[in-house]
Amino acid sequence: MIQVIQNVMLQVEAETQTVKPVADDLEPYRRLIELQKQMIGLVQQHEKTKRECAALRAQLLEEMAGPRHWRRSLRQGIGRAAGLLKHAAASGKPRVEGRSRPNGSFLTSR
């Protein structure tokens, strides 16, 4: 009877030893599956960023191709600056349009 129990214990021990290496052999495959999942996620993220980049590029090209809306033309801006310079030279005080200061000085900081 003791011999039978020892034989059963040896069989169980042998089975557990053979099962354990199989589980160890599966670990590289599990790691491979995890890496493949990460690669799939990265590919999806890359595709999303490519689409966003293309959309931004199209928006930029559309805005560049559209008409420019300037408040003043260059000629108007130069004429205004020349008028301000003439006024400053004639009066001794520079004139700032559209800005009023309580003390009348244009040099004070806000």
Question: 54-77 pLDDT, tens per residue?
Answer: 999 999 988 888 777 666 677 777
Q: What is the dihedral of CA 99, 103, 105, 108, to 10 degrees?
A: -90
What pLDDT is attached to residue 98? 53
Mean pLDDT of 3-22: 68
Between CA 106 and CA 104 the distance in angstroms is 7
pTM, to two decimals:
0.40
Between CA 77 and CA 67 the distance in angstroms is 19
What pLDDT is attached to residue 45? 97
Banded model confidence at residue 110, pLDDT cuts 50, 70, 90: very low
Between CA 80 and CA 89 the distance in angstroms is 14
